[in-house]
Amino acid sequence: MSSPGRRQDLYDKRDTLRLMAERAISLRLDEGAASALELLMRDGKSRSEAIREAVVDTARRRLYELAAADAARVAADENDRREVAEVQALMEALSEEG
Give the CA radius of gyration of the chain.
26
Distance separating alpha carbons of residues 77 and 21, to the nearest angstrom:
43
Secondary structure class of 46 (helix, strand, coil):
coil
Whether the Cβ atoms of residue 72 and residue 81 lie closer than 8 Å to each other: no
Whether the Cβ atoms of residue 27 and residue 36 lie closer than 8 Å to each other: no
What are the pLDDT digits (tens) for 8-61? 554 444 555 555 566 888 889 999 999 999 999 999 999 999 999 999 999 999
Q: Establish how many alpha carbons lie within 13 A of residue 46's alpha carbon, considering only the half-sphere containing its beta carbon.
A: 3
pLDDT of 88: 95
